């Protein structure tokens, strides 16, 4: 792979990380997809066959993972259900205090390694009535209420990308394939609007009511910075949310999010498998 694939605005801070990965063979074969795994779905990474693997902590200049203790944060490349995939296990959250651009570190690196299709997963609180815990939502649009945008900073994208449109941030064709993948494995995915807040506190009932009136169907604390960056870089993106709780309920807890995530990880994996086997051209 040559550096010609690298975006002209590739952040200098991530150059050493990208170089490190390339030295270890990442990107030598072109990844058909970059997959970012949300809370509870990390085990999907175990399915990668013949993987190259690298912990984020080995990547020079890469943000320090501030993840929950005991969580593995690493990137792998290999055959995931027959598809050449880059798999990011662990992501950067705004509530951990990272610089805006660092929230999309995985996306920059994925793009630098040649991935042009981005599949993002997350756990989210359900707002719409027909999205109880255990539901699967295909993100059709988002509302960014994080108070941060990953494209903010002194080193901006240039030209037309300086103010990138977000009218089609979630690729309709890829979302169609995601919905089809769900149908293929007997899962009913509902399209919906994902709102992201800064966190780390969960929402009050009044905030959930506000989000509902704004048009949000589910709420979380991730994904949007990754999709904004991917879309600005010209990647086709789609997002899959597992609803783990009813947003704004008194019992909301990170424990529940992880538990429902783990309990439903096989269903999420089944949908991802069907999607990866029918990704279509980027």
Q: Which residue ranges make up the site for ligand HPA (CB under 6 A)?
A: 123-125, 202-203, 219-221, 244-245, 247, 252, 257
Does 254 participate in catalysis according to the annotation? Answer: yes
Nearest residue (CB) to ligand HPA, 77 versus 222? 222
The span from the CA of 261 to the CA of 263, in Å, is 6
Does 76 participate in catalysis according to the annotation? Answer: no
Active-site residue, from 20, 96, 161, 187: 96
Nearest residue (CB) to ligand HPA, 231 versus 245? 245
Q: How far is the CB of 254 from ligand HPA (least distance, A)?
A: 8
Does 93 participate in catalysis according to the annotation? Answer: yes
- The three-class DSSP label of residue 25 is coil
For the chain, strand residue ranges (E) read 33-37, 49-55, 74-80, 83-89, 117-126, 136-145, 189-197, 218-220, 236-246
Active-site residue, from 221, 235, 237, 269: 221
Q: How far is the CB of 143 from ligand HPA (least distance, A)?
A: 13
Does 253 participate in catalysis according to the annotation? Answer: no
The span from the CA of 18 to the CA of 26, in Å, is 9
Cα dihedral 53, 57, 59, 61 in deg (nearest 10): 160
Nearest residue (CB) to ligand HPA, 49 versus 206? 206
Q: How far is the CB of 142 from ligand HPA (least distance, A)?
A: 13
Does 221 participate in catalysis according to the annotation? Answer: yes
Nearest residue (CB) to ligand HPA, 56 versus 194? 194
Does 123 participate in catalysis according to the annotation? Answer: yes
The span from the CA of 73 to the CA of 221, in Å, is 18
The span from the CA of 59 to the CA of 248, in Å, is 37
Token couple for 3: 């550096």
Q: How far is the CB of 138 from ligand HPA (least distance, A)?
A: 17
């Amino acid at each position: 792979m040559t550096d010609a694939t690298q975006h002209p605005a590739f952040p200098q801070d991530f150059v050493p990380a990208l170089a490190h990965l390339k030295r270890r063979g990442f990107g030598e074969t072109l990844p058909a997809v970059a997959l970012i795994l949300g809370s509870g779905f990390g085990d999907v990474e175990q399915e990668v066959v013949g993987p190259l693997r690298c912990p984020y902590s080995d990547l020079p200049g890469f943000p320090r993972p501030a993840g929950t203790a005991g969580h593995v944060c690493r990137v792998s490349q290999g055959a995931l259900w027959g598809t050449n995939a880059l798999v990011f296990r662990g992501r950067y959250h705004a509530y951990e205090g990272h610089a805006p651009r660092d929230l999309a570190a995985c996306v920059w690196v994925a793009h630098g390694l040649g991935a042009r299709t981005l599949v993002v997963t997350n756990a989210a609180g359900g707002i719409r009535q027909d999205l109880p815990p255990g539901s699967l939502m295909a993100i059709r649009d988002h509302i960014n209420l994080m108070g941060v945008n990953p494209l903010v900073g002194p080193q901006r994208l240039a030209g037309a990308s300086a103010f990138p449109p977000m009218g089609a941030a979630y690729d309709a064709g890829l979302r169609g394939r995601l919905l089809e993948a769900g149908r293929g494995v007997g899962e009913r995915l509902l399209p919906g609007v994902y709102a992201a807040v800064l966190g780390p506190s969960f929402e009050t009932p009044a905030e959930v009511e506000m989000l509902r009136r704004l048009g949000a169907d589910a709420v979380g604390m991730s994904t949007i910075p990754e999709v904004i960056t991917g879309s600005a870089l010209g990647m086709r993106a789609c997002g899959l949310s597992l609803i783990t709780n009813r947003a704004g309920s008194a019992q909301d807890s990170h424990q529940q999010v992880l538990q429902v995530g783990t309990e439903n990880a096989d269903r999420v994996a089944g949908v991802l498998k069907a999607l990866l086997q029918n990704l279509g051209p980027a």
